[in-house]
C-alpha cells in the first residue's frame, strides 16, 4: 500500500506540474526527469529488453559472416589488415584479455570461410544471415518509433546491402584520414606549439567518441522506416555515445573482478562475458533510439502507456477528416500525404493516424503509393463514392473474419433499428459524394478569404 502511495506521489510530482511558467533551467531539469522516467518505464515494460535479447542472439549468429563480408569488401581497397586491430581495440577495452581471445577466435573463423568451399548456396545463406541482423535492428527501431509498416522487400534488400558494403569503407576511410592528418608534417609542427598542441591532443582523444556519435546518428536516421530529424538523432546518439563510453569503463572494472566466475565457468566465462557486453551495447543503442523518438515526438511524453483508447466518435471523425484532406490534395494535384505529415498537421500521435489510415486502406477507401515515405490517395473515384456508403465502410473498420457483426445473435428489434438508422442516413445525405464534400470545403474557405 505504501509503495502505491509513493509511486502516485512521484508520478504527481513529475507529471502533474505545469512547467511552462518555470525558468529555463528548471524547465530543462523537469524535461530531463520526465525523459529518464519514460526510458526506465520502457525498460521495465519488458519489450525493450526482449528485443535486445533477440539482437544478442542474432549477433552471435551473424558476427562472423558480417566480418567476412566486410573483410572481402575492404580487401578490394587494400585495408583489410586493419580489421583485426580495430576489432581487438573494440573488444579489449571492455573485456580485457578475454577481448583478445574473442578477437582471435572470430578472425580464425573468418579465415576459415572460403567462398569456393561454401558454394553458391552457402554464399547466399551467408548474405542472408548478415541481412537478417540489419532486419532485426530495423524492426526494433520501428517498434521504438511506433512504425507498423516495413520497407518493401526489394528496397529493404538493396538498402541493407548498401549499409553492409559501404559502411565498413566509410569507417576505415575516416580512421585512415585521421591517421594521415596526425602524421602530416604540418600537424607535427602544430603539435610542437603549446596551446595548439594541447588542443589537437584533446581532439585526437575525443575523435573515437565523436566517431561513435556519428555512427549512432547515421543508424538512427537511416534504419527506422520513417523520417528522423537530424537534431533528434544527434541528441539520442550523443546520450548513447556517453553511455557507451561509461559502460566500457564500467565493464572493464566488472571484468577485472570476475576471476571467481572464470574459475567456475572455465572456457564458457569468455562467451558469457561477451554476451553480457553485447546485451549492454544493444540496450544502449535502443535507449538512444527511444530518446531520439521522444525528442522528435513530445506528444508521446505522457504518463499514459500502451495503446491509446479511442472512442468510436473520435475514430469516425478522424477518418472523415483524413479522407477529406487526401481527396482535396488529390484534386489539387499535390504530392500525397504521408502518415508523418498528417500527424504533424493534426498534432496527433503517429500511431493513431497510422491506425486510421490503415483501416481506411483495408476498407478499400484509400491506396498506398510506392513513394518513400509512402503516401495515400483515394482508392475509389471521389465523384462516385457516396458519403452514406463511405460512412458505412468507416464504421465497419476493424472487423475481421471471426469478429463480424453477422456473427452476433440476430435480435429483430436491433436489426430493425440499425436498418432504420442506415435508411435515414441514406435519405438525409441523398446522392452527396466525397467530391461534393471536398468542393464544399473549398468554396467555404474561398468565401472566408473574400
The answer to whether residue 374 sits within a structural domain is yes
Q: Are residues 364 and 287 in the same domain?
A: no
Tell me what the mean pLDDT of segment 353-369 comes to: 87
Q: Are residues 350 and 291 in the same domain?
A: no
Q: Are residues 275 and 412 in the same domain?
A: no
Q: How confident is the model at residue 447 (pLDDT cuts 50, 70, 90)?
A: very low
For the chain, how many structural domains are there in total? 2
- Burial track 168-188 (b if 16+ CB lie within 10 A, e otherwise): beebbeebeebeeeeeeeeee
Instruction: Select the more confidently predicted residue: 324 or 189.
Output: 324
Q: Are residues 357 and 268 in the same domain?
A: no
pLDDT digit string, tens, across residues 176-191: 555 555 555 555 555 5
pLDDT score, position 448: 42
Query: Where is the domain boundary, 267, 300, 333?
Result: 300
Instruction: Select the more confidently predicted residue: 62 or 327.
Output: 327
Strand ranges of the sheet holding 337-338, from the earlier edge strand across to the other edge: 337-338, 375-378, 366-368
Please name which of 143, 130, 133, 134 lies closest in space to residue 49, comparing C-alpha atoms: 143
Q: Are residues 44 and 189 in the same domain?
A: yes
* Angle formed by the axes of helices 47-77 and 268-296, nearest 10°: 100
Q: Are residues 284 and 323 in the same domain?
A: no
The answer to whether residue 40 sits within a structural domain is yes
Query: What range does the domain containing 263 cover?
Result: 22-300
Query: Where is the domain boundary, 274, 300, 326?
Result: 300
Q: Are residues 194 and 163 in the same domain?
A: yes
Query: What is the rounded radius of gyration, in angstroms, for the C-alpha atoms of the chain?
Result: 28
Q: Are residues 259 and 351 in the same domain?
A: no
Q: Are residues 88 and 208 in the same domain?
A: yes
Q: Are residues 108 and 232 in the same domain?
A: yes
The answer to whether residue 180 sits within a structural domain is yes
The answer to whether residue 356 sits within a structural domain is yes
- Does 94 have pLDDT greater than 90? no
The answer to whether residue 340 sits within a structural domain is yes
Tell me what the mean pLDDT of segment 226-254 comes to: 84
- Does 286 have pLDDT greater than 60? yes
Q: Are residues 171 and 320 in the same domain?
A: no
Q: Are residues 105 and 232 in the same domain?
A: yes
Look-up of cell digits 442506415:
422
Helix, strand, coil tally for the chain in percent (to 5): 80, 0, 20
Look-up of cell digits 522528435:
296
The answer to whether residue 413 sits within a structural domain is yes
Tell me which range, 103-112, 260-269, 370-379, is most confidently predicted by mean pLDDT: 370-379
The answer to whether residue 7 sits within a structural domain is no
φ/ψ of 378, rounded to 5, equals -60, 135
pTM for the whole thing? 0.67
Query: Where is the domain boundary, 262, 277, 300?
Result: 300
CATH number at residue 335: 1.10.10.10
The answer to whether residue 9 sits within a structural domain is no
pLDDT score, position 306: 53
Amino acid at each position: 500500500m505504501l509503495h502505491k502511495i509513493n509511486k502516485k506521489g512521484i508520478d504527481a510530482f513529475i507529471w502533474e506540474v505545469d512547467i511552462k511558467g518555470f525558468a529555463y533551467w528548471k524547465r530543462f531539469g523537469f524535461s530531463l526527469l520526465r525523459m529518464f522516467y519514460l526510458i526506465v518505464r520502457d525498460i521495465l515494460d519488458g519489450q525493450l529488453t526482449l528485443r535486445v535479447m533477440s539482437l544478442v542472439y542474432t549477433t552471435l549468429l551473424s558476427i562472423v559472416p558480417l566480418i567476412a563480408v566486410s573483410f572481402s569488401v575492404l580487401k578490394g581497397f587494400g585495408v583489410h589488415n586493419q580489421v583485426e586491430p580495430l576489432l581487438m581495440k573494440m573488444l579489449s577495452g571492455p573485456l580485457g584479455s578475454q577481448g583478445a581471445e574473442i578477437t582471435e577466435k572470430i578472425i580464425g573463423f573468418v579465415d576459415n570461410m572460403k567462398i569456393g568451399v561454401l558454394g553458391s548456396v552457402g554464399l547466399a545463406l551467408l548474405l542472408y544471415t548478415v541481412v537478417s541482423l540489419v532486419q532485426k535492428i530495423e524492426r526494433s527501431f520501428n517498434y521504438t518509433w511506433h512504425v507498423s509498416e516495413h520497407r518493401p522487400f526489394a528496397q529493404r534488400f538493396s538498402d541493407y546491402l548498401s549499409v553492409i558494403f559501404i559502411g565498413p569503407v566509410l569507417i576505415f576511410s575516416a580512421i585512415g584520414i585521421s591517421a594521415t592528418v596526425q602524421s602530416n608534417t604540418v600537424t607535427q609542427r602544430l603539435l610542437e606549439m603549446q596551446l595548439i598542441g594541447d588542443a589537437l591532443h584533446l581532439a585526437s582523444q575525443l575523435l573515437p567518441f565523436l566517431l561513435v556519435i556519428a555512427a549512432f546518428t547515421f543508424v538512427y536516421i537511416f534504419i527506422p522506416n520513417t523520417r528522423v530529424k537530424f537534431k533528434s538523432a544527434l541528441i539520442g546518439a550523443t546520450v548513447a555515445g556517453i553511455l557507451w563510453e561509461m559502460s566500457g569503463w564500467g565493464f572493464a572494472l566488472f571484468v577485472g573482478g570476475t576471476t571467481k566466475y572464470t574459475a567456475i565457468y572455465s572456457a564458457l566465462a569468455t562467451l558469457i562475458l561477451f554476451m553480457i557486453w553485447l546485451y549492454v551495447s544493444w540496450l544502449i543503442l535502443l535507449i538512444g533510439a527511444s530518446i531520439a523518438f521522444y525528442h522528435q515526438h513530445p506528444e508521446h511524453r505522457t504518463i499514459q502507456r500502451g495503446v491509446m483508447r479511442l472512442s468510436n466518435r473520435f475514430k469516425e471523425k478522424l477518418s472523415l477528416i483524413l479522407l477529406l484532406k487526401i481527396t482535396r490534395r488529390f484534386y489539387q494535384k499535390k504530392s500525397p500525404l504521408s502518415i508523418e505529415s498528417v500527424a504533424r498537421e493534426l498534432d496527433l500521435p503517429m500511431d493513431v493516424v497510422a491506425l486510421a489510415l490503415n483501416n481506411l486502406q483495408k476498407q478499400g477507401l484509400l491506396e498506398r503509393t510506392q513513394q518513400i515515405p509512402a503516401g495515400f490517395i483515394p482508392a475509389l473515384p471521389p465523384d462516385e463514392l457516396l458519403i452514406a456508403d463511405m460512412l458505412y465502410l468507416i464504421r465497419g473498420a476493424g472487423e475481421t473474419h471471426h469478429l463480424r457483426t453477422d456473427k452476433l445473435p440476430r435480435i429483430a428489434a436491433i436489426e430493425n433499428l440499425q436498418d432504420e438508422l442506415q435508411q435515414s442516413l441514406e435519405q438525409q445525405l441523398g446522392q452527396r459524394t466525397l467530391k461534393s464534400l471536398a468542393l464544399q470545403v473549398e468554396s467555404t474557405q474561398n468565401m472566408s478569404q473574400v
